[in-house]
Amino acid sequence: MGRWEPDARGRLERAALDLYAQRGYDQTTVAEIAAHAGLTERTFFRHFTDKREVLFRGTELADMITAALAAAPGDASPFEAATAALESVSEFFADRRAHARTRQQVIDATPSLRERELIKLASLAAAIANGLRDRGAPDATANLVAEAGIAVFKVAFDHWLGAEDDRDLAAHIRSAIDELRSATRP
């Protein structure tokens, strides 16, 4: 392992996003990302397995959600626990909207990044379903609530990215839940 590089991870993330946005994802190499961040390729690969992963934070989001599910009140319903867990990531995103917007543009323009994003969302759904099972929810409920939670999260995240006001991601999640309840009312 080389010497410690202050915030190497964050510098590599910002450098990669800069280059992907300017030149396109396919036209950017790991060597260029490392050079742009003032770091080595070796340091890049200490933090990320590949060029795609630099736009995704490994299992960080899933871990936050798993922890929040475990910490939710014991009398919360599966849906309440799941949506509280999703709302709990709002703070993480609070000062990153500009970064998140550019990141989403790059992902939407690049099929292989779009695939990785869908895989990450499926992992989040699996993390929620597992957390709900750990709380005692039956399998069928755990899976459905997890998928519905991710549906809410995707739409809320998209609205938060596009919004011009200061409502945080958690507020957009609550709006999407209201919309879901109203839309599915018999």
Where on the chain is the footprint of a second copy (CB under 8 A)?
Answer: 77-79, 114-115, 118-119, 122, 140-141, 143-145, 147-148, 150-152, 154-155, 158-159, 176-177, 179-181, 183-186
Taking the least distance from each CB to a second copy, the nearer of 40 and 141 is 141
Q: Which is nearer to a second copy, 109 or 144 (CB)?
A: 144
Both structure tokens of 81: 């626990």
φ and ψ of 4, to 5 deg: -75, 130
35 versus 126: smaller Cβ distance to a second copy? 126
Measured from the CB of residue 121, what is the shortest distance to a second copy in angstroms?
8
**Residue 61, helix vs strand vs coil:** helix
Q: Which of 115, 123, 180, 175 is nearest to 151 (CA)?
A: 180
Cα–Cα distance, 33 to 28 (Å, whole number): 7
Q: How far apart are CA 170 and CA 51, in angstroms?
A: 30
Q: How far is the CB of 83 from a second copy (least distance, A)?
A: 9
State which residue, 7 or 158, has the beta carbon closest to a second copy: 158
CB 82 within 8 A of CB 132: yes
Instruction: Tell which residue, 91, 74, 60, 65, has the closest CA to residue 171.
Output: 91
Q: Which is nearer to a second copy, 19 or 127 (CB)?
A: 127
